[in-house]
Amino acid sequence: MSGPKPKYDPGELEPARQAAWEARGAFATPAPAAEQRAVYIKPSSPFTSGNLHMGHVRDYAIGDAYARFRRARGDAVLFGFGFDAFGLPAEMAAIERGTRPAEWVERCGERMLAQMKRLGFSFDYERAFYSSDESQYRWSQWLFLTLHEAGMVYRDDATVDWCDTCQTTLAALQVEDGRCWRCHEKVRLIRRPTWFLRLSPYLEENDRNLAGLETRWDELSLKTQRYILGRSDGVELDLAGPDGGGLVVFTPHAGDVGEARFVLLSPRHPEVELWAQGPQVAERLDELRSGGWERSARDAAAVPVVDTGASVEVAGGGSLPVLVSPIVDARYGPTAALGIPSVDEADEAIAARAERLAAEPLGGGDAAGLAPRKARRYRAYDFSISRQRYWGTPIPVLHCEGCGVVPAPIEELPVVLPRDVEPSGEGNPLAERPDFLEASCPKCGGAARRETDTLDCHFDALWLWVPAAVPPADRDEQMFSHPDLRRWLPSERLVAGNDSGGFVFDQRVVTKALRDIGPFEFLAEGEPFAGCLFHEMVIADGRKMSKHLGNVVDPDALVAEHGADTVRLAVLYAAGPAKALNWTDGALRFASRFLRGLWDYTHESLAAAAEAPEDAEAAADTAFIRERLGKWCENGLERIAADLEELQMHKAVRNVTRLLERIKDYEKRVVKRQGRLGREDYEALLEALALLARTLSPFAPHIAEQLLVALGRDASVGFPAAEEDDSGLSMARNNLSEHQVSAIHRDS
C-alpha cells in the first residue's frame, strides 16, 4: 500500500523550485545562435517605489507565461528589465523619510527584486539595472546630446508652478488646490526656459506604421497610439492677411468651409506674433501664455480666447476675424483652424464668447472659389523634458557668459550627479553645490556654470527598453552599438499597462530619430516593438486601489497565505488583458481549488496506478477510450498553445482546467465500462496528467515542476515543444522511459 499522500505546501515547494532554477541558470539569456529565433520580451519598467503592486503582478505574470512558453518552443528568449529609478516620487519619498534618494532607491529595488523572485518570475536578473546608475544615465546624457545635435531637443520658455516660500518650481503632482504640497502656501505661475523633445518630424510615420503593426499589437495598445496622435483629416485653404501675407487654415469639416465665421489661431502657431500686434493684444497673449492655459484647454466654455483685432481676407469678398485660443492645440495641434459654429459644438461655444464674428459666412456660404485641398493635422506635440529637481539625470550643458548654452563634450560624460544629497524640498540642491555647479566652458575655456535642471524620468524612459539587450559587461562601451542589438531588436513583445501609451509613443519617435541619426539604422521601420500587449489595471470593489480607500491588495500577503502559483493563476484567470481586473477572492479560491485538486488527484492516481492489475482483454476493450483521451489531449494542447501565442492567458488557463475535467471524464468512462482502470488505462491517465502539468508550467511553474517530478519526468522540460504538438499522448509516452514507468510502480 502507498504511504501518506504528500501535502501541497507552496511555502516549502516554491522556494525549492526557485533555488533549482537559480542553480541551473534556467533564465540566463542565451548567447546568440543563428538557428534560433531571438525573442525579446519587454515587461514594464517599475518605478522604485519599494513595493510591487497587483498591477505589476498582472504585468509580469502575463510576460512570464509568454517567456516560459517561447523558451519551451525553442526560441532564444531575453526577458529583462530595468528600474525607472529617477524622478519626483522617489525624491518626495526620500524627503519624507529624511534620507538620500540614492539610498532610498537602492533599498526599494532590492526589496522589489526579492518580491519578483518569490513570485517566480523568470527574468534574467543579471541584466536588471537602475536608470539612476551612473553607467546608465551617462547614456541618457549621450542620448540628450545626440538628439540635441540632430535638432530633436531644443530650449524654449514654458509655464511652471512656482512656490515663493520654498523657492522651487513644482510639478503638477505637488500642487493641491493651487497650494504647495510642502508649505501649503499659494503657488504662482512663472515662465522659465525649459528643454523640449521635438515630436513633429515623426508624427506622420508613427501614424503610417500603425497599419503594419496591427497583426501583433493588440487593439488596446493601438487605440492609445491613435489617441495620442490625435489625427484629424480634413481640408486646408489659403487666406490672405492684411499686409499681403497668407495664412493656411485647417478644418475637419470639409463640406462646410463656406459656413466659417472666424479663424482660431494656436498660441504656438509659428506666425502668431505677426497677428498679435499692438501692445494690448501682445499683453493679453502673454497673459494667456503665463496663465497655465494647458489645464483648461479642452473646455471650450472656459478656455481663454484673445481677439487679435486683425482679420483675414477671403477671395471674392468678406473677411474673418482672427482669434487666438489654446483650444486649437487641444484639438489639432499648433495650427490655425476655421471656426464653423453651425456644425461644430466647440466652435459654437467659442463664438458665443467672441467679441467679433464675421457678419457673413465665408464666401456667402459658398466655398467653391476657395479651392480647399485635402489636409491632415496631429494633436500630438513636443513636450518638456527638464525639471528643476535634484533626483534626475543632469542635463549635460553649460552656461557661459560669452558663448551662451554650450553642450558638454560627449567624451566627458557622465556629468555626475552628487549622490550625497539629502533634499529638503526647498530650493534646488544642485544650485547650492559649487563642486557640481562650477566648470569651465568647453568652447572658450572661461568660467561656466552647469545646467542645474535635470531630465524628467520620462526622458530616461525613452531608451529604457535598450539596456537589457546588451550584456552588462559591454554596456559601458557599446550601449548603442553592440552587435546583440541587431539580434534582439525590435522587441518581439512589449507587455505593459495601458497607461504606458505616452511612453511607447515617444519611444517610437526616438527610435526613428536614432535610425536616421545612425545607431539604429538596422531598424528600417523605426519601431522598437514588433508586438505589443497592453493590459488594463487591477482594481478592487470596482474602484482603483488606493491607500485612501483602504482597498489595496498586498501581493506579499497573498503569496504568504496561498503561494505564488495560486496568486499568478488567479490574476491570469480573472480577466482578459483588455479588461480591468476587478480583484475578488473568487479568482483566488478558484485557483487554489484547482491547484490543490490537481495535486491530490495526481498523487491519488499515482498510488492507484501502482495497484492496477494487468488484464490484456480489459485493456483491449478500453483502447478506444484511451484513444479518445489522446485526442482530447491533442486538442487541449493545441488550444492552449494558440492562446499562449496570442497572450490570451485567461483563455489558456481555462483550457488547462478543462483538460483536467477531460481526464476525469476519461477515468469515469473506463470505470463505467470495466469497473476499474487497468494498468494500461492508468499509464494513459498518468501520461495525460504529465501533459497537463507541462501545459500548466507557464502559469504555475512551481507546482507544475513538482508534479512532473512526482510523475517521474524531467522537471526542467516545460511546455511541449512545437514539434510535439500533433503527436498527442505519444509525446508524453516518449518522454517517459520504460525504466521510469516501472519505477513508478515499484516506488509506491
**Binding residues vs Zn ion (CB under 5 A):** 163, 165-166, 180, 182-183, 400, 402-403, 441, 443-444, 446
Q: In what order do the strands lie in the sheet with 153-163?
A: 168-170, 153-163, 188-197, 383-384
399 or 487: CB nearest Zn ion: 399
User: Least CB distance from residue 162 to Zn ion, whole Å?
Assistant: 9
User: Least CB distance from residue 166 to Zn ion, whole Å?
Assistant: 3
DSSP secondary structure letters along 45-96? --B--SS--HHHHHHHHHHHHHHHHHHHTT-EEEE---BB--SHHHHHHHHH
281 or 403: CB nearest Zn ion: 403
Report which of 95, 119, 98, 230 is spatially closest to residue 168, judged by C-alpha positions.
95
182 or 664: CB nearest Zn ion: 182
**What would the 3-class secondary structure string for 276-292 be?**
CCCHHHHHHHHHHHHCC
CA–CA separation, 691 and 598 (whole Å): 13
Query: What are the backbone dihedrals phi and psi of residue 360, each rounded to the nearest 5 degrees, phi first?
Result: -115, 140
164 or 476: CB nearest Zn ion: 164
Burial of 36: CB neighbours in 10 Å, binned 0-12, 13-18, 19+: middle
165 or 546: CB nearest Zn ion: 165
Which are the contacts of 38, defined by CB distance < 8 A and separation ≥ 6?
32, 75, 76, 78, 487, 488, 492
CA–CA separation, 39 and 478 (whole Å): 21
Contact (Cβ atoms closer than 8 angstroms) between residue 197 and residue 147: yes
User: Least CB distance from residue 440 to Zn ion, whole Å?
Assistant: 8
C-alpha cell at 281: 493684444
281 or 437: CB nearest Zn ion: 437
User: Least CB distance from residue 193 to Zn ion, whole Å?
Assistant: 18
Report which of 485, 481, 553, 493 is spatially closest to residue 517, judged by C-alpha positions.
481
User: Least CB distance from residue 21 to Zn ion, whole Å?
Assistant: 49
User: Least CB distance from residue 457 to Zn ion, whole Å?
Assistant: 22
For residues 510, 512, 516, 519, the Cα torsion angle rounded to the nearest 10 degrees is 70
Query: Which string of b and e fits 76-103 if b means at least 16 CB within 10 Å?
Result: bbbbbbbbbbbbbbbbbbbbeeeebbbe
166 or 362: CB nearest Zn ion: 166
Report which of 27, 42, 45 is spatially closest to residue 109, judged by C-alpha positions.
45
165 or 280: CB nearest Zn ion: 165
Amino acid (one-letter) located at 184: H
168 or 335: CB nearest Zn ion: 168
User: Least CB distance from residue 146 to Zn ion, whole Å?
Assistant: 22
User: Least CB distance from residue 432 to Zn ion, whole Å?
Assistant: 17
Q: Residues 495, 500, 504, CA angle at the centre, nearest 5°? A: 85
User: Least CB distance from residue 89 to Zn ion, whole Å?
Assistant: 18
163 or 564: CB nearest Zn ion: 163
User: Least CB distance from residue 176 to Zn ion, whole Å?
Assistant: 11
